[in-house]
Copies of this chain bind each other. A is one copy, B any other.
Amino acid sequence: MNTVPVDYVLDDQIGFLLRLASQRHSGIFQRNVVGKLTPTQFSTLIRISEQGEVSQNRLGRLAAMDVATIKGVVDRLKAKGLVQAHADPKDKRRIAISLTATGHQIMDDLKRAGLEISDLTLEPLTEAESQTLVTLLKKIS
């Protein structure tokens, strides 16, 4: 039997703070990214450009998205004409995803915008603090 009231300060909890920081970052992203891309669409494009050609399932793992989520993201990127899909002749289950010519063309601008967005997000911190934050976040991921 525990009758002692619990002292819970929401504003100090890691989960709440992660959501706040993500929200601010999303806002900055939206105002600065090239084209009308979302953060997940952006990450997906980066992963595809790194891989050249990749199955949808593997792409989801690389971009840290659920299979149901990555399907929607790929569908919207296809609709934008930035990626294409074609069946894998060796494995009929697989659908190979790759960048279109247009997709290739915007990658450099996207990467530049991405770096700028990261800088703006970390603007309240010093260089050393930014490095620390990145290191700590990697540890709890």
Residues of A bordering B, CB below 8 Å: 2, 5-8, 10, 12-26, 29, 39-40, 43, 46-47, 50, 64, 108, 111-112, 114-115, 117-118, 121-122, 124-125, 129-130, 132-134, 136-141
Q: A121 vs B136: C-alpha distance in the bound complex, in angstroms?
A: 12
- Given contacts A8-B111, A10-B46, whether A21 and B20 have CB atoms under 8 Å apart is no
Q: Which of B6, B13, B26, B141 contacts A112 (CB 8 A)?
A: B6
Copies of this polypeptide in the complex: 2
CB A138 to nearest CB in B, in angstroms, measures 6
Contact residues in B for A6 (Cβ distance below 8 Å): 108, 111-112, 115
| Whole-angstrom distance between the Cβ of A52 and the nearest chain B Cβ | 15
